[in-house]
Amino acid sequence: MDGIFRFLAVVKYLIAGLGNIGSEYELTRHNIGFLALDRIADNHKLKFETNRLADKAELKYKGRQLHLIKPNTYMNLSGKAVGYWLQDLKIPKENLLVIVDDIALPFGSLRMRTKGSAAGHNGLKNIELVLGGQAYARLRFGIGDDFSKGQQVDFVLSNFSKDEIGELPSLMDKTADMVYSFCTIGAERTMNFFND
């Protein structure tokens, strides 16, 4: 009997890293969400498997069940995958965390928010549309704004610089720590500990 209750008590989280599928996008700034989840998977020897609307992996962490998804719908339809998996796994919206690139933050700056506007980000816009609002947690990874007027799309879809690639592993580990923290002590305390 105890075993049944322990099983029922497992708290589930959906961690959605945003990006675009295809090798041509692999190391682009817009794919920071994919890269963050790949780092978590590598650290825990997890394997992503292609499933409904996403590549998916699962991680047990301190009594929590983390469902990691990389939507394979392309960035602009990310909400489709997020909405599907929230519903399929019966995960409450407050246990959703979306990892996303942000040009408004300097490179490597990490900020968690429990709500907020999409700020022109098409992936977030689509999630907002599907979920019917802005009240969901997101972890914004700064990619900087080193581009000329009208060059934003080219910039986010370009590869990281050599120097940035050198910094990525430690930044990915900090991102992972923020994910674990969100799932164990909650968004507010994570924001107090980690936000730049």
Catalytic residue status for 30: yes
For residue 88, what is the enclosing H or E element? helix 78-88
Domains in the chain, start-ordered, CATH in brackets? 10-194 (3.40.50.1470)
This prediction has a pTM of: 0.92
From 30, 44, 67, 121, the catalytic residue: 30
CA distance 184 to 63: 9
Q: pLDDT tens for residues 7-41?
A: 556 899 999 999 999 888 888 889 999 999 999 99
CA distance 169 to 173: 6
Q: pLDDT tens for residues 64-85?
A: 999 999 999 989 999 999 999 9
- The pLDDT of residue 146 is 73
Among the residues of the chain, which ranges form H helices?
2-8, 32-43, 78-88, 122-131, 152-156, 162-185, 187-194
Q: Are 2 and 130 in contact (CB under 8 A)?
A: no
Q: Are 15 and 97 in contact (CB under 8 A)?
A: yes
